[in-house]
Amino acid sequence: MKNTSQKVGLITATSLVVGNMIGAGIYVLPSALAAYGSVSIVGWILSALGAIVLAKVFGNFSKIIVNKSGGPYIYTKEGFGDFIAFLVAWGYWICIWVGNAALVIAILSALNFFFPVLETNKIIAVLIGLGFIWGLSWINSRGVKSSGRIQVVTTIFKLLPLLLIILLGCFFFKLENFPAFNITGNSNMVTIPMVATLTLYAFLGMESATIPAEDIKTPEKIVPKATMLGTLITTLVYILGTIILFGILPIEEIQNSTAPFATAAEYIGGGAAGYFVAAGAAIAAIGALNGWILISGQIPMASARDQLFPRVFRKENKRGAPAVGIFIGSVLTSLVMLLNFSEKLADQFEFLVLLTTLTCLIPYLFTTASYALVLVENKYNLDKRIRGMVLAALGFSFSFWGIIGSGEKSVFYGLLLLLLGIPFYILMKYNKKKRNE
């Protein structure tokens, strides 16, 4: 039984969702979207609708499976059993520690605005990157409350610059700056899926509150609220922020800017405002790294309890934190970061995002399918079953579409990582059988 004093409430759980979804990517993503025109707003809306459907599925599942940590892993296990659940946990765990390396790169890229030496001096960049990984790992090892405080503070400070630009930008909005609907030269049918896929990565993490469910007060009430509320807040920030940005700056300037929100802030309030937004981008990535380090110990812990991961991952310290799992995940993140430091920061980030996208989407696919199976197996009333099945079908379709749209390389690397987990699964099942004999 978890220590009640260590459990967190709605504000912290919502901050975990918002904080894990909003990293530094939103501060630079409009530059890529500007090449498509205002059709990118449609892409945001489509991705947001899919994310809201998935958030509803995860929220509903948290009411069926109450007070169990593990999120996608535990939900998939309910419908499909050990093997598929293991693949979800394996892929998701890899997604986390590889994705955390991408977040470290994003932090360094944001800090490069203040300290250009980080782009040229790899030793200083590595030391600062490792400092963030291990400093936040230490905070997370002190329990979910300590991590939660950091998450709430960083979420507030990452949202503040974006909200100020959205509010103040209304006074600088010029309709003539707004780009044409589709400037790619391709048809809308070709372009809309492209921009929706591009925006999809920004919504990964809406399930974050379901993963440490045992550390949340009355999880059957708070987890679904935090999941939906966090997804809606993030959606509004993404869409409104992009619309305002398109109305403040000419499309060519957005395309050529490495930090379009900072450029817009300078236009609104001068150089100091630009620095304020650039600091927000760094804080956004720091907050996301903190939240995902928290998650990095939870997924393998849930799997280890079912003897599908090594027993060492089950260990919790006196504060109820899976400190060993956090430590192992952070070692792996550090290695991924070090292995990629021969490339430019932007190139590293792009590769790591490519590597993690599929391994995050597959858990969504199986969770929605598992939700449909659970609805069939349990004797719910017909109306609830029909609504649930429609929801599951929409979530499954969106996840499948996201996997297809993530590109051949993403599918290749993602499936390769999953296949590498099969020998590990066979070994764990063999060990489990030997222990039970």
Q: Is the pLDDT of residue 357 over 80?
A: no
Q: Is the pLDDT of residue 410 over 80?
A: no
Cα–Cα dist 378/400, whole Å = 25
Q: Is the pLDDT of residue 224 over 80?
A: yes
- The residue type found at 262 is A
Mean pLDDT of 338-350: 59
Tokens of 345: 């920061």
Confidence of residue 188 (pLDDT cuts 50, 70, 90): confident
Residues 6+ apart with CB under 8 A from 363: 72, 73, 76, 88, 91, 92, 207
CA 352 to chain centre: 13
**CB neighbours of residue 220 within 10 Å:** 15
Confidence of residue 190 (pLDDT cuts 50, 70, 90): confident
| Average pLDDT value over all residues in the chain | 87
Q: What is the pLDDT of residue 417?
A: 82
- 22 contacts 159 by C-beta, under 8 angstroms: yes
Cα–Cα dist 268/177, whole Å = 15
| C-alpha distances in Å from residue 350, one per residue of 39, 89, 288, 344 | 23, 23, 17, 10
Q: What is the pLDDT of residue 348?
A: 52
Cα–Cα dist 270/172, whole Å = 13
Q: What angle do CA 160, 165, 167 make, to 5 degrees?
A: 95
Mean pLDDT of 361-387: 86
- 205 contacts 52 by C-beta, under 8 angstroms: no
Which of 70-79, 264-273, 318-327, 401-410 has the weakest average pLDDT? 401-410
| Environment class of 213 (CB within 10 Å of its CB; exposed 0-12, middle 13-18, buried 19+) | buried
Q: pLDDT digit string (tens) for 117-128?
A: 887 788 888 899
- The residue type found at 375 is L
Which of 32-41, 73-82, 176-185, 254-263 has the weakest average pLDDT? 254-263
Cα–Cα dist 346/344, whole Å = 6
Cα–Cα dist 185/36, whole Å = 9
How many Cα atoms are found within 13 Å in the side-chain-facing hemisphere of 389? 12
Which of 80-89, 101-110, 204-213 has the weakest average pLDDT? 101-110
Helix (H) or strand (E) holding 427: helix 408-436
Q: What is the pLDDT of residue 354?
A: 59
- 325 contacts 313 by C-beta, under 8 angstroms: yes
Q: What is the pLDDT of residue 185?
A: 85
Q: What is the pLDDT of residue 341?
A: 62
Confidence of residue 344 (pLDDT cuts 50, 70, 90): low
- 179 contacts 248 by C-beta, under 8 angstroms: no
Residue 180 is given by DSSP the state P
Confidence of residue 342 (pLDDT cuts 50, 70, 90): low
pTM of the model: 0.90
Q: Is the pLDDT of residue 378 over 80?
A: no
